[in-house]
Structure 1
Amino acid sequence: MKKIFAAAVFFTALSINAQFTVTIKTPANFKEQDAVLYTLNGSKDIIFTKETAKKNVWTFKYPKNYVGMMKVTLPNTNNSFNFISENKNVDITLETDGDKVKNIVYLDEANSLMNSIQEGSQKKEMILPALVQIKEYYKGTSDFGKALDTEIAKLSNKTSSDFSTHPFISYYNINYNKFLVAENSKDVKQDDIINFIDKSNDMLETSSLLRPVLVSYLNVGGNNNVTASVDKLLERLKVETPRGQVVLSELIDIFDAYDMKEFKTKYLTQAKNLKCTITDRLAATLKTNANVEMGATFPNYTFYSATNTKMKSLADVKADKKVIVFWSSTCSHCENELPQLLPKYQEMKAKGIEVIGLSMDTDKDAYTKKIAAFPWINDSELKGWNSSYGEKYNIHATPTYFILDANNKIISKPDHVGDVLEYLKLK
């Protein structure tokens, strides 16, 4: 299970004069009171502020110009949803069922249009091929056949709309279609992508396009030319610039997520050795990586609702060695690997070794059923990739393992459960 996660630091808007407002309405019976607003920088969600509902309405006042993707999370009910800002008021109504958001109604013009475009794109990608296949077997001229022809023609329509009054929608859709839609991007060259990244305005960082475009850039260059491709891009962007540092940070995370250790090490070292002013974005990448370097003291974590222990935090757990595993009940690799610890657990305990599982789950029932079989310490914030420890411990995939000594220093970072058992001489 892989996911690019997001988290940052709270700050509060000081100005009462908003450039625009984000208004979110919920039904009277929806119990959630808190909502957190995020902006975007590359692939990182940046927390802007937290608001409390007043009569089931949240109103966020944004004090400066912002054009791009935004997100709101409802932390107590574990809901989240995305929308866009074109520096104009955003108006959203949530339709709920119990504590779950079942539908999002975008009432402002920009989000209504963006939602319509994305729904059309999803239908074209997922439904059109099926309709074409059905048509191959259905030669009739009945009303059903005519309806098929009409829907196929509608979904096949390639006419472009005029988004001149919607700068972000125009930017997003033009560049998404050019660089990330397979049928259009097959003729895109590396220089085309370099020019796009170099010449784009600030919407590149706020559009959510940067990371997938960088992955596309690396794929175009091929696996045998990764260093040459990255060096060429960074030389053009100038790594001392804010854009260059965002791209460098994204590349480090990409290499981490795809287990390309050689390249991650090379460009992380380059980032560490920069003599210029470091942006907050790159500083965050450096910090999370420093947290989990070999020999580093593993940052403490206060348990949320831990089982099989009375300890309040990870540091409170006393053991000669600790095996930390980040996992999820939806992760197939976890399903295969974690049960292999079960027959060894009592032997581990006898040797002074404790296992601590930190789950990236969101579904309480699924998580609870899984941990019923796990006798070691288990904990989960039930926030998935929005869990606080995702950013703190630089987690890009599950399962991820760390082995700590009695002083909570990292002494091993095994790739698989077999490596854990081998390191602990339990195989």
Structure 2
Amino acid sequence: MKKILGIMSLLALNSLSAQFKIDIEAPAAFTPKEVYLYTLNGSKDVLNTKEIRKGNTWQFKVEKPYTGMLKLYFPEGNISLNFIAENKDVKLKFDSDKGKITNVQYLDESNFVMNNLQDVQQKKEYILPALVQIKDYYDSSTSFRKALNDEIARLSLSVADLSKYPFVQYYNSNYSKFLDKTTAKKDITHDEIIHYLSNSNDMLETSSLLRPVLMAYLNVGPSTNVANDVDKLLKAVNLETPRGQTILSELIEIFDTYGMADLKEKYLTEAKNLKCTINDRLSNTIATNKNTELGATFPNYVFQNPTNTTAKSIADVKASKKIIVFWSSTCSHCEAELPKLIEKYNAIKSQNAEVIAFSLDSEKANYDAKVKSLPWINDTELKGWYSSFAETYNVRATPTYFVLDSNNKIIAKPDHAADVISYLKLN
């Protein structure tokens, strides 16, 4: 009996050593070697592990149970690929063109079903209304009209039974209920969303639905008092629970992104005043905001590929004031605002001040072309929103500005280039 029990124990240990495997196959022409695997917590990617290419493949062993959205990130090319796990083995294969991923083949059943479902959802939302309008312009006997009718019928079909795929079923049913713009239904209410957020299982955090559902909650209207609506939600989800704290963190970030400063400060203060144990998600939100509040010492950053300087880091730059700018060559607001700083740059330098600009670009050619016209210190990681400084400095939108004193203390957080110019009295 002892021998049998010993064998059973070994089998149990082996089964726990890896919940499931992820196999990725790429063509030889796809050059990145390293890839990171991220799980999801609300709207935050959480690094799970990383692997080095072996031949044309990567293989991950996921040690803990996980059901939900996953992401591969190839840092050498700043390329990402999304897929799902049902706590079962995953297998993907893709082609590439000019360093970009193309023609992803989902070779496991769950991802194949999810991909087809999302394809139909997208077409229902963006294409189906147009097809319905277009078809009446063509005679019913034409082959094109028949093709239109076939596609309309396909997109209008009810979803097949998804009971074999718990996560796919969860995602589809809740996306349809709360977010699908094409679904014929009465307007969703605050109470319905509160019930969902309070009673959903753990797939809420891993589904990518939490942030958009919260946005839907804030947009239920008309509402005369957003704070009252948010207070009602937070009371229901209970801020002493991980779910409640993750929702509070998401709301603080939403208010920050959309420039709702009063609401951000109200709920950030509420987060700081909690007396219970705080989960990692909310702790990180509090810490990141603390790093970038007025009076805080701006965390130092070691330059990667700087232009127009021999300094090695922000701290090495000697200036009476340092104007920090986060921008991107694809940002239309940056296109409008940066020329205003260029115009005043000589006047800024005459005050012994300096501009230090960090780009959230991911395409080297775009960055190189733009940075030629920027006379100040520039740097980038070419990782877009995966750039380390986006998280460190709580950057939610571009452009974002900070003004530091000579000791790198934050003395102003202007909203626009014009506010920077006004603060420096250069009008």
How would you bin the TM-score normalised by the shorter chain?
A: over 0.9
* Residues 209-233 of structure 1 deviation map (CA, whole Å, 9 limit, x = unaligned): 0111011111115452211111111
Deviations 1:93-136 (A, max 9, x none): 12112422123211111111101111111122222222223223
Separation in structure 2 between the aligned mates of residue 293 and residue 412 of structure 1, nearest angstrom: 9
Structure 1 range deviating more: 302-311 or 182-191: 182-191
For residue 366 of structure 2, give the secondary structure of its aligned residue in structure 1.
Answer: helix
Separation in 2, partners of 1:337, 1:131: 40
Matched to 2:296, the amino acid is: A
Residues 304, 381 of structure 1: 8 Å contact kept: yes
Whether the 8 Å CA contact 1:221–1:229 is kept in 2: the answer is no
**1:339 and 2:336 correspond:** no
Shift of 1:21: 1.0
Matched AA of 1:277: T
In our comparison, the structure showing a higher alpha carbon Rg is 2
- Offset, 1:149: 1.6
Q: Deviation per CA, 1:341-380, whole angstroms, max 9, x where unpaired?
A: 1121111111111111101111111111111110101111
Partner of 1:176: 175
Q: How many angstroms apart in 1 are the aligned matches of 2:330 and 2:302?
A: 24
Distance 1:267 1:314 in 2: 31
Corresponding position of 1:11: none
Counterpart code for 2:55 = K
TM-superposed CA distance for 1:187, in Å, is 2.2
Partner of 2:165: 166
CA contact (8 A) 1:321 1:406 kept: yes
Alignment of 1:127-142 (within 5 A): 127-142=127-142
Q: Residue type of the partner of 2:113? A: L
Aligned length: 412
Q: Which amino acid aligns with 1:390?
A: A
Q: Distance in 1 between matches of 2:419 and 2:49?
A: 42
Q: TM-score, normalised by structure 2?
A: 0.94
Structure 1 unpaired stretches of 5+: 1-14
Contact residue 35 and residue 74 of structure 2 kept, 8 A: yes
CA root-mean-square deviation: 1.4
Equivalent pair of 1:19/1:64 in contact (CA under 8 Å): yes
Where do 1:310-329 residues align within 5 Å? 310-329=310-329
Cα 1:125–1:183 shift into 2, 3 Å: closer
Conserved? CA contact 1:95–1:103, under 8 Å: yes
> In the aligned structure 1, how far is the partner of 2:149 from the partner of 2:376?
58
How far the C-alpha of 1:142 sits from its partner, in A, is: 1.7
Q: Residue 137 of structure 1 aligns to a residue in which SS? A: coil
C-alpha distance after superposition, 1:77-107 (max 9, x if no partner)? 1110111010001111121124221232111
| SS of alignment partner, residue 224 of structure 1 | coil
Could you tell me which amino acid in structure 1 is paired with residue 179 of structure 2? L
Equivalent position of 1:371 in the other structure = 371
Give the AA of the match of 1:179.
F
**Equivalent residue letter for 2:49:** T
C-alpha displacement of 1:140:
4.7
SS at match of 2:224: helix
C-alpha distance after superposition, 1:248-297 (max 9, x if no partner): 00110111111111111110000001111110010010111011000000
Q: How does 1:257-272 map to 2 (within 5 A)?
A: 257-272=257-272
1:4 alignment partner in structure 2: none
Instruction: Say whether the 8 Å CA contact 2:94–2:105 is kept in structure 1.
Output: yes
Change in CA separation of 1:312 and 1:34 when aligned onto 2, cut-off 3 Å: same
The answer to whether residue 145 in structure 2 is matched with residue 149 in structure 1 is no
Distance verdict in 2 for CA 1:49–1:329, change over 3 Å: same
The two structures have a TM-score, normalised by structure 1, of: 0.94
